[in-house]
């Protein structure tokens, strides 16, 4: 695999160690020392944030595999750096690498809350729950500075609009003051992703995400505020983390989660090579076994893109995992799907200068 990590560049707390060109770029770049360059001091690869003025806020989908038809993504790319992230290939559309670029060259979309408010005010808009965090994490570290999700939630609260949030970030605790009143009206629920309870493995797989025990603390804080919380054991990685399924569910239930689900590992497009390379470096003794089980799960391929099976897997192993999850949920009193959120409270708040109703 060629890449464009330059001599002298040093990686710290990054998931990918490759920066292979995206599939839409016309050339591969391979860094090498030709003997002409002066030796320089090592430089850490820093996170860069570029700004994009959004023309739209809500993205619609027609996937039969998803329980929602719309979502919002305040950021492109994700500094958490999860090596298995299925969103990595989306960076190729920006002519950036799904590898290191995905976690170091981020796009923030300031003004997205104002655009969202305009879209919600359109007479033709029909309300349905909005999902946030289904592509890149809205509570990744840059949210602390840019506060885009905070602004989005303020708009949704003003409109009494239902929202589901999925995150690994503990910064969601900052917004409990917004989410708790919404949840009390049946307008908000949160999924917290916990892939493993093994802190050392988590640090290697998800280098800039909060530690597993810290995420469990976030579940406790959200639950204590009356916000419905689902613990999401995703992705479940065969021969690496699948043995923890019941333990993670149990930890989530003890922390206050009322729902739990799990989705087997998916490796679309460039993610397969990145993950395989990570396995060979990090757990070489298990790399072949993990990838063999992944191909078993996806019909002999690294990834099965077909609707209906891409998010559930197929075969004996997939069936066993789903049965184990069902048994654990029943034993722990956990539900699968998040609670149905209300849509009947949606209302467009009046603006200065609006004609008030007589009735």
CATH of residue 185's domain is 3.20.20.70
| Per-residue pLDDT, 35 | 59
Furthest CA-CA distance within the chain? 81
Helix (H) or strand (E) holding 324: helix 316-332
Helix (H) or strand (E) holding 273: helix 271-282
**Residues 89, 95, 97, 100, CA torsion sign:** negative
Find tokens 């020392």 and name the residue: 33
Residue 358 lies in a domain: no
pLDDT in tens, the chain (359 residues): 445 555 555 677 898 888 876 666 655 665 555 555 545 556 778 899 999 999 999 999 999 888 899 999 999 999 999 999 999 999 999 999 999 999 999 999 999 999 999 999 999 999 999 999 999 999 999 999 999 999 999 999 999 999 999 999 999 999 999 999 999 999 999 999 999 999 999 999 999 999 999 999 999 999 999 999 999 999 999 999 999 999 999 999 999 999 999 999 999 999 999 999 999 999 999 999 999 999 999 999 999 888 888 888 899 999 999 999 999 999 999 998 888 999 999 999 998 766 655 55
Rg (CA), the chain: 21
Q: Where are the beta strands (DSSP E) in the chain?
A: 9-10, 43-44, 48-51, 58-60, 70-72, 75-76, 105-108, 130-132, 163-167, 188-193, 229-236, 259-264
Residue 236 lies in a domain: yes
| Per-residue pLDDT, 2 | 45
Residue 354 lies in a domain: no
Residue 353 lies in a domain: no
Domain of residue 144, residue span = 9-26+43-332
| Per-residue pLDDT, 351 | 80
d(CA 191, CA 182): 15
- Rounded (5°) CA angle 163-167-173: 80
Three-state DSSP class for residue 147: coil
CA-closest candidate to residue 321, choices 333, 330, 312: 312
Residue 301 lies in a domain: yes
How many domains does the chain divide into? 1
Residue 38 lies in a domain: no
Residue 346 lies in a domain: no
Q: Phi then psi for 261, rounded to 5 degrees?
A: -150, 170
Residue 350 lies in a domain: no
| Per-residue pLDDT, 357 | 57
Q: Are 293 and 240 in contact (CB under 8 A)?
A: no
């Amino acid at each position: 695999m060629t890449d464009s990590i330059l001599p002298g560049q040093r990686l710290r707390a990054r998931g990918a160690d490759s920066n292979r060109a995206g599939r839409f770029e016309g050339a591969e770049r391979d860094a090498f020392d030709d003997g002409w360059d002066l030796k320089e001091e090592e430089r850490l690869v820093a996170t860069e944030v570029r700004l994009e003025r959004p023309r739209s806020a809500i993205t619609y989908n027609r996937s039969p595999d998803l329980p929602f038809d719309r979502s919002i993504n305040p950021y492109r790319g994700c500094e958490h750096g999860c090596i298995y992230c299925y969103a990595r290939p989306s960076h190729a559309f920006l002519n950036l690498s799904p590898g290191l670029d995905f976690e170091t060259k981020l796009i923030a979309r300031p003004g997205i809350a104002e655009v969202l408010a305009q879209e919600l005010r359109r007479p033709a808009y029909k309300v349905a729950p909005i999902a946030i965090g289904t592509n890149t994490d809205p509570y990744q570290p840059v949210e602390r500075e840019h506060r885009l999700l905070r602004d989005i939630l303020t708009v949704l609260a003003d409109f009494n609009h239902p929202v589901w949030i999925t995150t690994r970030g503990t910064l969601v605790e900052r917004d409990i003051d917004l989410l708790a009143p919404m949840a009390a009206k049946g307008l908000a629920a949160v999924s917290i992703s916990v892939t493993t309870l093994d802190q050392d493995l988590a640090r290697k797989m998800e280098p800039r995400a909060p530690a597993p025990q810290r995420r469990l603390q976030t579940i406790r804080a959200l639950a204590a505020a009356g916000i419905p919380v689902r613990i999401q054991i995703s992705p479940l990685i065969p021969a690496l983390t699948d043995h923890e399924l019941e333990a993670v569910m149990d930890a989530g239930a003890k922390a206050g989660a009322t729902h739990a689900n799990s989705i087997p590992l998916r490796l679309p497009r460039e993610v397969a090579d990145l993950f395989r390379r990570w396995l060979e470096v990090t757990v070489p003794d298990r790399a072949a076994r993990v990838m063999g089980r992944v191909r078993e799960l996806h019909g002999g391929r690294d990834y099965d893109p077909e609707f209906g099976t891409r998010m559930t897997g197929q075969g004996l192993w997939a069936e066993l995992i789903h049965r184990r999850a069902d048994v654990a949920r029943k034993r722990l009193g956990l539900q699968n799907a998040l609670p149905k959120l209300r849509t009947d409270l949606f209302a467009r708040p009046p603006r200065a200068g609006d004609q008030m109703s007589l009735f």
